[in-house]
Structure formats: structure tokens, C-alpha cells
């Protein structure tokens, strides 16, 4: 672990940050652990777009400082610790270490690590994150093991972005008339206001995962009303999610906490052995990040 | 259709260009249709990376001019007409129209259009392209209808890049131990010299389709030797390819020509009704591009 300058005064504030594929949340605390303010900003997946992520981190912390009625200069006396999507990838993590951040000091790890640490108060246990992306992880005697979480292109099955992407793939095949065109395909075209394959591809070919995630509530609603394609997608996603959650439960030999914006909706559809291990979270990932710092458990210190 | 300057002398040469996701090929002809030289350069998918595509177009034509033992200045007296992957997307096509190209004049359409026109000598017929991407198309009384060809993220099933991507997705699940780890997963790790999920994702998360396509020969070889996952992927791909080819055959009411680097290997695995419609190509897509110009059938003129 590194700090900004070893001769600097101790920090006056702590900020815990939770950065995912769609939102970045920050909670500002005083040194005795009282919550002073909270802030939210945009996407902070450091593997997808480092510039955007750094801006979101900064914006969320500034918003928390403002919410606490503290002056902007507070940044320099605030120790920041965060968990960010993509931080498990060496290339992304190494890039973030080079950041000339404005904080007192800056520590980070993956969003999964902070979520897991907060969820079980540092004890052994598992977490299943279902948001824009998807991932499971186990904490066993301080050691983190990850299952899934391979990103939008190569994994993240069952997540909001994956459900959306699969719905678009289906819609394109329905437009080509090699799949039946049902309610899901109609809803996808309506949502993006794109009624030809060319218009859909032109709009979505380079789109962020979050843009695909917009379809998630529509897909869940249609699945709930037994639309066959939506139902099949949700089923395939939940089978995968149950499989990675089961691995994490076995690895940690503990209980499972759910996290992420899509978790609540999919929880009843997970396999029963996985549901039987569910427990509620002790703390959020923001506080989990601060605990990780305090327990000296950060494995990646930021640059000076 | 537009030309560089209406007062300019007529071109002394014609170059037909075929630009796909991995390679760009150019054939240089004199005004009576004699082949003078040919050149090859890198990727020319104008929807994926316009700068790279323009450079590949230029490099392939320069190589053809050099191959013909003509001086570099030949560019300015050469009429260029090409078919490019991605040209069916308005955003990509509009960007290419702005190109300040060095040719006498420049006309383009999709690579599918030129392949189809060359394959059936301008007559009604269908084409199934299986290369880095995949696509089928029908030409009926001069009108082109496309099936598939929705790109690496949202379609291109059965293509080299799709087979490779699916093999990587499988390998990541095998590393997570939620799928059995067989020969295919071992071969994927060996090929990319990446033996953990993190290493694989870090290497491939932002990789071009061509990098995934590198796996195609390995997958086909394993499928040939009955490796179950490779066999299942090839089967799923060929079912999709047969479906879009069937649509194109019905639409054109004509015969089917295969094109693309993976077509030869997958041909015996296509559905028998599709195979029954196969015929060989009359001309290549490079000559197809020149015929499209000569028949006044280009629907997209380039800028002056």
C-alpha cells in the first residue's frame, strides 16, 4: 500500500467508492465512521473506458462532499478507497495506478472484492452480482476467488446487458425471418425506434453495455407474461447465474449475498439450492472498501 | 453517381476492390478488361475502423499498380470501384463518402453486392459469404436483399470470428469449472498462451474479430475429430448459415454461390437442400465491382 506522501498529515475523511458498468456511488465518512454524505455519477468500469471511469469516480466523490456541505478542497484531505469493475484485469488496473488523482491517497480493488467484504463484514461468504454485468465470488480466509465476470463481449451471462444483447440478436434473426417475430422483437424495435436490421445494427453496433441493459425491464416483464423468447433467455441466464453462485458458495463454504440492479428481479428464478443459501448483506460495497483499507487488505496501492 | 471532375479525361485504368474484415484485395484492369495486376492489404471493414479501411483500400490498389509495373501516379488516372464490409450501414457509408481519395474517381457498395454481382454475372442468384463474418444475399432483378451480416457483436453466426468467440466463451466457463474442460478449451488456452480467465479476457476483451478467427482452423480440425464442444459449435453455426442461405435462394429464385475463407471447409456441413442449389462463381467480387460500375448499378457514388 502506498500513500500520497509519507510526511503528509493523516486524512480527515474517508470515502468508499463502488464503481460498476452503469453507476459510480461514493459514501463520505469521518474518521470515526459517521456517514456524512453520498454521491452518484456515471459508469466506472476501468477496463471499458479509463477516462470515463476516472471522471465518474471524481464526480461521485465531489457529489458526496457537496452533499455533506463540505468545501471542494475536502478532496485533498480525503482518503479514497474503491472497488471498480474491470480492476481484476492487469492492463486496466495498471492504467489506474498511474492516475494523478486529487485525493489524500487512493486505494482500489475490484468491485466484487469490496462488495464481498462489505456483504459478510469481512467473514467467509459468497456474493452474486447481477447488474449491467454478472459475476460471483467467494471470500475464504481473506482470499478472493472469482467465477464469471468476463465482460460484455465474452461473458456476463444473465446480466442486464447480456439479456438485452441476446434480445437484439434474436430480433435481428426475426427481421431476417429465420425466427418467428413475436412480442419481444416488436418491443426491441419499438424501444430503439429502429424497425430494420440496418437501423438496429447502426444504432447498437458500438453501443455500451448500458444501452443493451435498457431492455432488461422489458424482457423481465415479457418473461413474466410467458413470452416464449424472453422466458427462454431469462431461463438460460438464471441457469448460468445459479452455476457460478453454486461454485462461489462451495468455495467459501458460506452464505450468499445478492447485489446489483437486476438481482432482486431474478432472485426467485435462481435454483432452489442457491436460494437456500441466501442471506442479507451486512454492509454495502462502499463501506466494504473502507473496511478493506482499515484491515490492510488492499492488494493494489495507487500511485503517489 | 459522381465523378471527380466532369471535365477530367476518362480514366485509363479500372481497379476493382473487395474489402472484408481481414483482407482487402484489388485487381487492376485496362479499359478493355485485361487484368494487369493484383494487390492485397489488410482489413477493410468500413463500419469497424474507417481509418484502417481507407489505408487498406489504398495499400491494395498501390500494390496492384506496382504488380502491373506501372508508376505510382497511375492512381490519379484509375477509376476505383469496390465492395466493402460495413457499407450497408449508413453511418459507415456516409463517412466513406467524405474521403478525399487520390483516385480518378471512387464508387463503392457493400462487399456482398459486388460478390453477388460477380458470382452470377449480374443475373438473379444468391450468395453465402463465410469468412471472418457471415452473410447471405439475393439479387433479384437488380435488387439486393440481405440476410444476416449483422456484425461481430450481434450476428455473424457460423463465421470464423463467431466460432472463435464462442470457443473462448466456452473456455472461460471451463476455467470456471461450470463446463467440462476438454480438448477445445486446452487448445484455446494454448493458442493465445493464456491459461487463466484473467489472462484470456485481458488479451481478447478488445480484440478484433480477426483475432478470434485465428481459432477457426483449430475448431474445424477438432470438430472433424469429434471433439464434442467444437462439433456442437460448428453444427449451430451451419444451421444458421443454412437458414440464411435458404432465405436468399428463395428470394432470388436462383442458384447459390459460396464465398469467403471459411466457405470451403463448411460447405459439406450445410443442409442438403442448400447444397443442392450450389453452383460455382462466374467472376470474383473485384470484377463484380467493375461490372456494377459499367452497368450503372452503383447506388452510392463517392465524393468528388
- Which residue do the cell numbers 471524481 mark? A58
For residue A142, what pLDDT is reported? Answer: 81
Residue with more model confidence, B119 or B295: B119
Residue A3 has pLDDT above 80, yes or no: no
Contact status of A196 with chain B (Cβ, < 8 Å): no
Percent of chain A with pLDDT over 90: 76
Residue A302 has pLDDT above 90, yes or no: no
For residue B143, what pLDDT is reported? Answer: 87
- The whole-angstrom separation of Cα B118 and Cα B115 is 5
Contacts of B60 (CB under 8 A, 6+ apart): B17, B19, B24, B25, B26, B39, B40, B41, B44
Residue B301 has pLDDT above 70, yes or no: no
Across A244-253, A288-297, B182-191, least confident range: A288-297
At residue B2 the predicted structure's pLDDT band, cuts being 50, 70 and 90, is very low
Strand partners, A63: none
Closest Cα in chain A, distance from residue B232 (Å): 17
Contacts of B120 (CB under 8 A, 6+ apart): B139, B254, B255, B257, B282
Residue A303 has pLDDT above 90, yes or no: no
- The whole-angstrom separation of Cα A195 and Cα B217 is 37
DSSP class of residue A24 equals E
Contact status of A201 with chain B (Cβ, < 8 Å): yes
For residue B303, what pLDDT is reported? Answer: 39
Residue B304 has pLDDT above 70, yes or no: no
For residue A28, what pLDDT is reported? Answer: 97
What integer is the mean pLDDT of B237-241?
97
Mutate to test the interface with A, among B196, B205, B249, B250 (most CBs of A within 10 A): B205
Closest Cα in chain A, distance from residue B205 (Å): 7
For residue B73, what pLDDT is reported? Answer: 94
What integer is the mean pLDDT of A192-213?
93
Residue B6 has pLDDT above 90, yes or no: no
For residue B100, what pLDDT is reported? Answer: 92
Residue-wise pLDDT for B60-113, tens only, equals 999 999 999 999 999 999 999 999 988 988 889 999 999 999 999 999 998 888
Contact status of A205 with chain B (Cβ, < 8 Å): yes
Closest-CA residue of chain B to A202: B89
What sign does the dihedral B182-B183-B184-B189 (CA atoms) show? positive
Interface of A with B in 237-266 (CB under 8 A): 240, 243-244, 247
For residue A152, what pLDDT is reported? Answer: 93
For residue B13, what pLDDT is reported? Answer: 95
b/e per residue A17-30 (b: at least 16 CB within 10 A):
bbbbbbbbbbbbbe
Residue-wise pLDDT for A21-40, tens only, equals 888 999 999 999 899 999 99
Describe chain B by its helix, strand, coil percentages, rounded to 5: 45, 20, 35
DSSP class of residue B302 equals P
A201/B151 touch (CB, cutoff 8 Å), yes or no: yes
For residue A300, what pLDDT is reported? Answer: 46
At residue B47 the predicted structure's pLDDT band, cuts being 50, 70 and 90, is confident
- The whole-angstrom separation of Cα A257 and Cα A264 is 11
Contact status of B176 with chain A (Cβ, < 8 Å): yes
At residue B21 the predicted structure's pLDDT band, cuts being 50, 70 and 90, is confident
What integer is the mean pLDDT of B143-165?
94
For residue B177, what pLDDT is reported? Answer: 95
Contact B181, B233 (CB under 8 A): no
Closest Cα in chain A, distance from residue B160 (Å): 16
What integer is the mean pLDDT of B218-235?
96
Residue A293 has pLDDT above 60, yes or no: yes
What integer is the mean pLDDT of A234-251?
97
Query: Which residues on B lie below 8 Å from A154 (Cβ)?
Result: 165, 168-169, 172, 200-201, 204-205
Contact status of A151 with chain B (Cβ, < 8 Å): yes
* CB-closest option in B154, B177, B247 to A172: B154
Residue with more model confidence, A293 or A65: A65
C-alpha cell at position B197: 480467465
Residue-wise pLDDT for A111-133, tens only, equals 888 989 999 988 999 999 999 99
For A243-275, give the DSSP string: HHHHHHHHHHTS-EEEESTTHHHHGGGS-HHHH
Contact status of B299 with chain A (Cβ, < 8 Å): no
Residue with more model confidence, B8 or A284: A284
Checking ipTM against 0.90, whether it exceeds it is no
Distance of alpha carbon B105 from the chain centroid: 23
Cα angle B214-B82-B289, degrees, rounded to a multiple of 5: 110
Percent of chain B with pLDDT over 90: 76
Walk me through the domains of chain B, giving residue ranges and CATH numbers: 13-121+283-294 (3.30.420.40), 123-281 (3.30.420.40)
Contact A60, A40 (CB under 8 A): yes
- Which residue do the cell numbers 437484439 mark? A168
- The whole-angstrom separation of Cα A14 and Cα A8 is 15
- The whole-angstrom separation of Cα A81 and Cα A13 is 11
- Which residue do the cell numbers 487484368 mark? B35
- Name the strand (E) or helix (H) holding B46: none
At residue A61 the predicted structure's pLDDT band, cuts being 50, 70 and 90, is very high
Closest-CA residue of chain A to B207: A153
Contact B138, B149 (CB under 8 A): no
What integer is the mean pLDDT of A152-166?
96
Closest-CA residue of chain A to B151: A205
Residue A301 has pLDDT above 80, yes or no: no
What integer is the mean pLDDT of B202-208?
91
Residue with more model confidence, B31 or B295: B31
Please tell me whether residue A40 adopts helix, strand or coil conformation. Answer: strand
Query: Which residues on A lie below 8 Å from B205 (Cβ)?
Result: 47, 89, 151, 153-154
Residue B7 has pLDDT above 80, yes or no: no
Contact status of A177 with chain B (Cβ, < 8 Å): yes
Contact B70, B36 (CB under 8 A): yes
Phi, psi of A201 (to 5 degrees): -65, -40
Residue A63 has pLDDT above 80, yes or no: yes
Closest Cα in chain A, distance from residue B242 (Å): 10
Residue A4 has pLDDT above 50, yes or no: no
Closest Cα in chain A, distance from residue B39 (Å): 30
At residue B204 the predicted structure's pLDDT band, cuts being 50, 70 and 90, is very high
For residue B260, what pLDDT is reported? Answer: 86
- The whole-angstrom separation of Cα B141 and Cα B15 is 25
A153/B247 touch (CB, cutoff 8 Å), yes or no: no
Across A137-146, A149-158, A228-237, B235-244, least confident range: A137-146
A177/B88 touch (CB, cutoff 8 Å), yes or no: no
At residue B1 the predicted structure's pLDDT band, cuts being 50, 70 and 90, is very low
* Strands lying side by side in the sheet with B125-130: B143-148, B134-140, B125-130, B256-259
Amino acid at each position: 500500500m502506498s500513500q500520497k506522501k509519507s510526511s503528509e498529515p493523516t486524512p480527515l475523511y474517508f470515502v468508499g467508492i463502488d464503481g460498476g458498468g452503469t453507476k459510480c456511488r461514493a459514501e463520505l465518512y469521518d474518521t470515526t465512521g459517521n456517514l456524512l454524505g453520498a454521491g452518484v455519477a456515471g459508469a466506472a468500469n476501468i477496463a471499458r473506458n479509463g477516462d470515463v471511469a476516472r471522471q465518474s469516480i471524481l464526480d461521485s466523490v465531489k457529489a458526496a462532499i457537496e452533499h455533506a456541505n463540505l468545501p471542494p478542497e475536502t478532496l485533498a484531505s480525503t482518503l479514497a478507497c474503491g472497488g471498480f469493475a474491470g480492476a481484476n484485469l492487469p492492463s486496466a488496473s495498471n492504467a489506474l495506478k498511474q492516475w494523478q488523482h486529487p485525493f489524500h491517497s487512493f486505494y482500489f480493488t475490484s468491485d466484487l472484492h469490496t462488495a464481498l467484504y462489505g456483504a459478510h463484514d469481512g467473514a467467509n461468504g459468497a456474493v452474486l452480482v447481477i447488474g449491467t454485468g454478472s459475476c460471483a465470488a467467494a471470500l475464504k480466509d481473506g482470499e478472493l476467488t472469482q467465477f464469471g465476470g468476463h465482460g460484455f463481449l465474452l461473458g456476463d451471462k444473465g446480466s442486464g446487458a447480456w439479456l438485452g444483447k441476446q434480445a437484439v440478436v434474436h430480433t435481428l434473426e426475426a427481421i431476417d425471418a429465420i425466427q418467428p417475430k413475436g412480442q419481444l422483437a416488436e418491443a426491441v424495435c419499438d424501444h430503439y425506434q429502429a424497425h430494420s436490421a440496418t437501423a438496429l445494427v447502426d444504432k447498437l453496433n458500438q453501443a455500451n453495455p448500458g444501452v443493451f441493459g435498457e431492455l432488461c425491464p422489458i424482457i423481465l416483464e415479457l418473461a413474466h407474461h410467458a413470452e416464449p423468447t424472453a422466458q427462454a433467455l431469462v431461463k438460460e441466464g438464471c441457469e448460468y447465474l445459479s452455476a457460478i453462485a453454486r461454485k462461489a458458495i462451495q468455495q467459501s463454504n458460506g452464505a450468499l449475498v445478492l447485489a446489483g440492479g437486476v438481482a432482486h428481479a431474478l432472485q426467485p428464478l435462481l435454483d432452489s439450492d442457491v436460494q437456500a443459501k441466501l442471506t442479507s448483506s451486512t454492509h454495502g460495497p462502499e463501506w466494504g472498501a473502507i473496511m478493506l483499507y482499515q484491515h490492510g487488505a488492499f492488494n493494489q496501492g495507487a500511485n503517489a
